[in-house]
Amino acid sequence: MSKINACIYPLLLSVGSTALAQNKIQVRTFGSVGYSRLMSSKPGEAEKIINYDTFEMGQIKRDVTSYDGADKGGTWRRNTRFGFNLSGELSTDLSFSLGILTEAFSLENGPFLDRGAYPLRATVASLNYEGIRNLSVQFGHLPAPFWLISEEKFVGYTYPWIRPPFELYSIPAVTENLEGIRAIYQFNVGDFLIKPSLFGGDFPVTLVDGFKGNYRGGGFKIDLEWEWLTAQIGMVDAIGVIDDKTVIGTTTVPTSDGGTASVEQLRVSVNGGSSTRFNTIGVRATPGDFLIMAEAADAIQERYDITGADQPFSGLGSHPRAYYVTLGYNIGRFMPRVTYSQLTDEFTNIDKWVSKPLIDQAAAEQGQDVADRLQRAILREYSYDAFRTIQLGLNFVVTPSAILKVEYQTSKANQTDFDGAFGMLSGGEANIAQIAIDFVQ
Amino acid sequence: MRIDKLSLLFFWFQVCWKAFRYVPESTRWSWSRLGEIMSKLLHQAIFITTLLTGSMKVTAEPVLIGHPEINVNPDLTAVKRLYLGKDKSLGGKEALSPIDVDENSRVRPIFLEKVVDKTETELRQYWSRLVFTGKGIPPRSVGGDEAVRQWVATNKNSVGIIDSALVDQSVKVLLNIK
């Protein structure tokens, strides 16, 4: 798929330039400028709540990226995002789309546009073939079609929140993109438009602490549209994983010349024989002046094998379940809204796993210590009793192209207390305020 | 020309104020007498307003136009599906490209209400979801109603929505949108 990607971008640029010359191309831009602030939290406990959606698990990156400590304090952190999309028809059957996104989350109130902090990435680079009636086939670099808003989550203007419910949108199985193919067929049953779709390919994913993987698999989704109602149900199954390894758990040891050296103690890999499956269901309804959005997901995660030191252990898995409900009501240009979201997660096979000796008694003491801490860190990360957020917000339509959003949320995690290895959270609360303008052109 | 609500309100206020000034002093503060006067003024104001709005207001009448060689008889549902990218034809086999209604066009409000059934913001959000995910391309914009008519007249596979007053022999009316 990486070779295919290497071909698709030049291909799109060439066809794009041809379409531009023939005045067939459309250019659209979007952006978001906002500020976030941690209003209050329990000292030392809320960092993960704040940073939960910055673990690069494919979720929206809008958060407070640093934690100032203490119960109250913090300053307003700026979040900005800009993007544009080139699209056009090459013929009546073939069209293309190329989307570029850049975003930055300032740690300090520095220059508004700091070029060093705005990396570019492609959100979509695809060809769309519609030569067969009612059938659409997309090929290339596509947004991962898992959730209700996963395909447009970077736009902001298209959904009501500043900070989408991260309890659901940060489940570790979620990835940013699908490098592959998707076929969508649509047909009518009365006034209902039904669109089943199949998709497959590679799903690049970056998990916790820089651990990168690459799922390969597929899934299906069924979309239903009627008047003011949109509903979807889907299932994704990653058939296998291309192994990619990273080092977690290093320790510093003294060297003979009096200095120190970093020594790899453990290596984590993803079990290529396991599969990851998650099921989703979501609905968006706008009856009259109301807005109702609800979504739920159930995932069975990859199993993790931990090797290193003297004795490996395997069979770690997690089972996150999450849902949210959003209610809004349009009053002229205003829309007050409220959202409740919840995530629960548990380790699978935990009893079997924790009863297994981690490292032989004869192993180095430091290795034992690191392995023990890693075990506890993973246990804590994936064993949330409950992670809940209540969010209140108010949207104002400034112009048909720009929406001002203000929101305040309180998040709370109930978790079994473990050691604070690797900066992991062991329960806590955080209250976050945000304001942003989302716009399109 | 339209008479907006503010002008209407100001007109009524002027009528009532001038009428009140000519009411005899002895009867000015009699509530029943005042009620009778206001009632008469109200009826007269309504009558005058109806005359004015009826004669001065020009209502846009949108129609769906296509190339003279197109042979389809669509209904409003088919037009809605075409303009929302849910279908590539108007019920026939021939693929058609819809031309967007200009934002400054007089038929734009009726187009939003009757055809796509969305506000301006809702329509932008709808297309944003499709455009930025590569799942759809919005109708092409070519300009005002006259530009739409010229485009449709010279492109066999295009349809557009313009004011009926601008229709000529270069295009064919496919549907009257009411």
CB A302 within 8 A of CB A241: yes
CATH T-level assignment (fold) for domain A2-440: Porin (2.40.160)
Residue A36 pairs with which residues in a beta bridge? A77, A434
Tens digits of residue pLDDT in A309-326: 444 455 556 677 889 999
Select from A158, A227, A398, A441 the residue whose CB has the most chain B CBs within 10 Å, as the one to mutate to test that interface.
Answer: A158
Residue of chain B whose alpha carbon sits nearest to that of A177: B133
Among candidates A354, A339, A363, A333, which has minimal Cα distance to A418? A354
Higher pLDDT, A92 or A329: A329
User: Which chain B positions have a beta carbon within 8 Å of A124's beta carbon?
Assistant: 132-134
CB B96 within 8 A of CB B157: yes
Does B86 contact chain A (CB < 8 Å)? yes
Domain ranges of chain A: 2-440
Residue of chain B whose alpha carbon sits nearest to that of A182: B135
Contact B86 A30 (CB under 8 A): no
% of chain A exceeding 90 in pLDDT? 21
State how far residue A212 is from chain B, nearest Cα, in angstroms.
24
Provide the pLDDT for residue A323: 92
Provide the pLDDT for residue A114: 43
State how far residue B114 is from chain A, nearest Cα, in angstroms.
13
Does A16 contact chain B (CB < 8 Å)? no
Contact B132 A30 (CB under 8 A): yes
Question: At B137, is the pLDDT very low, low, confident or very high (cuts 50, 70, 90)?
Answer: confident
Contact A128 B134 (CB under 8 A): yes
Instruction: Report the pLDDT averaged over residues B115-126.
Output: 91
Which residues lie closer than 8 Å to B31 by C-beta, 6 or more apart? Answer: none
- Residues B74, B41 share a domain: no
Residue of chain B whose alpha carbon sits nearest to that of A178: B133
Among candidates B102, B103, B115, which has minimal Cα distance to B63? B115
What is the Cβ-side half-sphere exposure of residue A345, based on CA atoms within 13 angstroms? 27
Instruction: Report the pLDDT averaged over residues A36-45.
Output: 61
**Polymer length of chain A:** 441
Higher pLDDT, B132 or A304: B132
- Residues B47, B114 share a domain: no
- Residues B40, B69 share a domain: no
pTM of the model: 0.72
Q: How far apart are CA A370 and CA A376, in angstroms?
A: 10
What is the Cβ-side half-sphere exposure of residue A24, based on CA atoms within 13 angstroms? 17
- Residues B160, B74 share a domain: yes
Does B138 contact chain A (CB < 8 Å)? yes
As to burial, measured by CB atoms within 10 angstroms (0-12 exposed, 13-18 middle, 19+ buried), residue B22 is exposed
Distance set, CA B136 to CA A31, A110, A156, B55, B158 (Å): 19, 38, 18, 44, 17
Select from B81, B118, B135 the residue whose CB has the most chain A CBs within 10 Å, as the one to mutate to test that interface.
Answer: B135
Select from A123, A397, A440 the residue whose CB has the most chain B CBs within 10 Å, as the one to mutate to test that interface.
Answer: A440
- Residues B157, B69 share a domain: yes
Compare CB distances from A95 to B86, B117, B137 and report the shortest one's residue.
B137
Provide the pLDDT for residue B87: 85
% of chain A exceeding 70 in pLDDT? 53
What is the Cβ-side half-sphere exposure of residue B97, based on CA atoms within 13 angstroms? 23
Q: What is the mean pLDDT of chain A?
A: 69
- Residues B135, B70 share a domain: yes
User: Which chain A positions have a beta carbon within 8 Å of B122's beta carbon?
Assistant: 286
pLDDT at A307 over 60: no
Among candidates A237, A235, A326, which has minimal Cα distance to A283? A326
**DSSP letters spanning A203-256:** EEEE-GGG-EEEEEEEEEEEEEEETTEEEEEEEEEEEEEE---EE--EEEEE-T
Provide the pLDDT for residue A4: 47
Which residue has 């013929």 as its token pair?
A91
Tens digits of residue pLDDT in B38-79: 666 665 655 555 555 444 445 778 999 999 988 888 999 899
Which residue has 């034809």 as its token pair?
B89
Residue A187 pairs with which residues in a beta bridge? A194
Does residue B54 sit in helix, strand or coil? helix
- Residues B102, B24 share a domain: no
- Residues B49, B31 share a domain: yes
- Residues B91, B129 share a domain: yes
For chain B, the domain total comes to: 2
CB A356 within 8 A of CB A318: no
Q: How many CB atoms lie within 10 A of CB A325?
A: 16
Provide the pLDDT for residue B84: 92
Contact B134 A130 (CB under 8 A): no
Provide the pLDDT for residue A315: 53
Contact A85 B129 (CB under 8 A): no
Question: At A35, is the pLDDT very low, low, confident or very high (cuts 50, 70, 90)?
Answer: confident
Provide the pLDDT for residue B170: 93
Q: Domain holding B110: CATH number?
A: 3.40.190.10
Which residues lie closer than 8 Å to A262 by C-beta, 6 or more apart? Answer: A250, A251, A252
Paired tokens of A161: 């929140």
pLDDT at A391 over 70: yes
Which residues lie closer than 8 Å to A66 by C-beta, 6 or more apart? Answer: A77, A107
CB A380 within 8 A of CB A424: yes
Domain membership of residue B11 as a residue range: 5-56
pLDDT at A70 over 80: no
Higher pLDDT, A338 or A78: A338
Higher pLDDT, A64 or A80: A80
Provide the pLDDT for residue A191: 84
How many angstroms from the chain centroid is the CA of residue A145? 12
pLDDT at A306 over 60: no
| Residues 103-142, chain A, touching B (beta carbon < 8 A) | 123-124, 126, 128, 130, 133, 136, 138, 142
Compare CB distances from A99 to B124, B129, B134 and report the shortest one's residue.
B134
Compare CB distances from B134 to A142, A186, A397 and report the shortest one's residue.
A142
Instruction: Report the pLDDT averaged over residues A67-92.
Output: 67
Question: At A253, is the pLDDT very low, low, confident or very high (cuts 50, 70, 90)?
Answer: low
- Residues B146, B90 share a domain: yes
Provide the pLDDT for residue A123: 86
pLDDT at A427 over 80: no
Paired tokens of A186: 């649509």
pLDDT at A153 over 60: yes
Provide the pLDDT for residue A434: 84
Does A26 contact chain B (CB < 8 Å)? yes
